[in-house]
Amino acid sequence: MAYSFAHKKILLGITGGIAAYKSAVLVRELIKQGAAVRVMMTEAASRFVTPLTFETLSDYPVAMDMFDSHRTSSTWHIEWARWPDVIIICPATANTIAKVAHGVADNMVTTILMAAKTPIIFCPAMNCEMYKNRFYQHNEQLLRENGYFVIAPEEGELACGEKGVGRLADLNDIVSETYWVLNQTNSLADKKVVVTAGPTREAIDPVRFISNRSSGKMGYALAENAAIRGAHVTLISGPTALKPPRHVHFKSVDSAQEMASAVAESAAESDILIMSAAVADFRPKEKSSQKLKKDEFGFNLQLEPTTDILKSAAGHKKNQIIVGFALETENVLENGKKKLAQKNCDLMVVNNPFVAGAGFDVDTNQGYLVFRNQEPIHLPLMSKWDMAGEILNHIERLSIDHKY
Ligand code: CTP
């Protein structure tokens, strides 16, 4: 996800594990998304990757030696501890985690951590047996209980050749967790939000289907953004290439029928339903259980309409906010207004895929927000992440209006 870390100061602490080489990519990614990054390292980390690599990437001297003759002040560690908005320890070794959990400050990294007042995120990476070790587990638990964030390592093949849990979390997850820690609010606290995303696939036979070009990016951005605002989010997604966002309940579906059932299960209890999925309007009348031969196809594929999920949810609505999406290639506003009325929605997000930078599989979008009793609002070209934020700001406003 392309977030914005503009004006955010991130201190990255690197401790001595082989995953230290991945931290170079993390620095690049955070800087690319607008953050100012400084790096501190333990002596052991510098055996894996040199400070010069990080000095070059962050364009700032690396802090490693408490008694460095180039230090800018005699209370250098305090100056560094006060600088960042968030600290990420990546990779975090069992040794550093044990030290922090027990109040040891015996190098530049652990001393800065002890002096810090900002949120701290640990990204452990180690051999699977070290990770399972009960002393390690106890120390990690101590960190969690004391308000530190820990991004659990993943299962997979480890540098030592063994397989198990211990591999550094995906860098994208580290970036998204950092964004979450920095931007968490409670503007949608305790709200139940259901978001649908992606295309649906309507099977012709076991290997062929009818689908569309939806990437799911807009819906995934909405789900993640709502979770950052404190909502309990269920994301119901058709097949996409995207990884489910952290902190959302994820349901994977294939066909329009499966999506309709999943929405029926979750939507009745929800406060907000956002139908950003590109649901197929038609499906083959019959699905063959065997792969059809060319000559069995004929030239006519018989189709039947799928259930209109949005319309039927809006038909049963009580006190919910219901949001639809409409893709229109002509008379965009007029058709959007008609669709809002036909489908009984509170808000219709209308866009035209022919406009440069909008539509399928791009990271940007533009369009109109069409309301029941209010003039439409034009959203200029922006990232899908920012557009998700704009849409949710309006949904928040509508849900306050609903209450009074
Ligand atoms: N939608 C739905 N169930 C369907 C088809 C669409 O819930 N079977 C929802 C989409 O998720 C979207 C909205 O309806 O929020 C608009 O879908 P769209 O396909 O643009 O509108 P249609 O009503 O299908 O009209 P048309 O294709 O003729 O423009």
Nearest ligand 1 atom to the CA of 309 is 7
Mutate to test the pocket of ligand 1, among 339, 340, 349, 368 (most ligand atoms within 8 A of CB): 339
Q: What value does the mean pLDDT take over residues 133-156?
A: 97
The preferred substitution site among 309, 331, 349, 368 for testing ligand 1, maximizing ligand atoms within 8 Å of CB, is 309
Would you kindly state where each structural domain of the chain is located, as residue ranges? Answer: 9-183, 192-285+294-401
160 catalytic? Reply is yes
**In 149-270, which ranges are E strands?**
149-150, 154-157, 163-167, 192-197, 202-203, 209-210, 232-237, 249-252
pLDDT for the residue 234: 98
Task: Give the span between the Cα atoms of 158 and 166, in whole angstroms.
Answer: 7
- Decide if pLDDT at 203 tops 70: yes
C-alpha dihedral, 247 to 212 to 254 to 292, nearest 10°: -160
- Tell me the mean pLDDT in the region 97-111: 97
**Beta strand pairing call for 120-124 and 202-203:** unpaired
3-18 per-position pLDDT tens digit: 889 999 999 999 999 9
pLDDT of residue 36: 98
Q: What is the DSSP string of 33-97?
A: TT-EEEEEE-TTHHHHS-HHHHHHHHTSPPB--TT-TT-SSTTHHHHHHHS-SEEEEEEE-HHHH
- The pLDDT score that the predictor gives to residue 313 is 93
pLDDT at 38: 98
- Closest by CA to 322, choosing from 338, 350, 345, is 345
CA–CA distance, 189 with 5 (Å, rounded to integer)? 23
Q: Is 309 in the pocket of ligand 1 (CB under 6 A)?
A: yes
Q: Calculate ∠ Cα 268-272-273, nearest 5°.
A: 70
Q: In this structure, which topology does domain 9-183 adopt according to CATH?
A: Rossmann fold (3.40.50)
Ligand 1 contact via 277 beta carbon (within 6 Å): yes
Ligand 1 centroid to Cα of residue 307, in Å, is 10
**What pTM was computed for the model?**
0.92
Contacts of 234 (CB under 8 A, 6+ apart): 192, 193, 194, 195, 248, 249, 250, 251, 266, 270
**Residue 349 Cβ contacting ligand 1 at under 6 Å:** no
Nearest atom in ligand 1 to 326's CA = 20
- The CATH superfamily label for domain 192-285+294-401 reads CoaB-like (3.40.50.10300)
Which atom of ligand 1 is found nearest the CA of 328? 29
Domains 9-183 and 192-285+294-401 share a fold: yes
pLDDT at 296 over 80: no
Tell me: the pLDDT tens digits for 301-314? 899 999 999 999 99
Check if 281 has its Cβ closer than 6 Å to any atom of ligand 1.
yes
DSSP one-letter string for 328-357: -SSSHHHHHHHHHHHTT-SEEEEE-TTSTT
Residue 295 pLDDT: 79
Distance CA 396, CA 313 (A): 20
The answer to whether 22 and 168 have CB atoms below 8 angstroms apart is yes
Contact 92, 123 (CB under 8 A): yes
* 89 pLDDT higher than 70: yes
Provide the pLDDT confidence category of residue 117 given band limits of 50, 70 and 90: very high
The tens digit of pLDDT for each residue in 66-75 reads: 887 777 777 8
* Residue 403 reports pLDDT greater than 70: no
3-state secondary structure of 134: helix
Average pLDDT over residues 67-95: 90
Ligand 1 lined by 308 (C-beta under 6 Å)? yes
338 has pLDDT over 80: yes
Decide if pLDDT at 179 tops 80: yes
The mean pLDDT value for 355-383 works out to 91
Separation of alpha carbons 403 and 48, rounded Å = 57
Instruction: Determine which one of 90, 123, 128, 160 is catalytic.
Output: 160
In this structure, what token pair is assigned to residue 125? 């990476």
Examine the pLDDT at 218 and tell me if it is beyond 90: yes
pLDDT of residue 404: 53
Q: How far apart are CA 248 and CA 223, in angstroms?
A: 7
* Four-residue CA torsion sign, 280, 284, 290, 296: negative
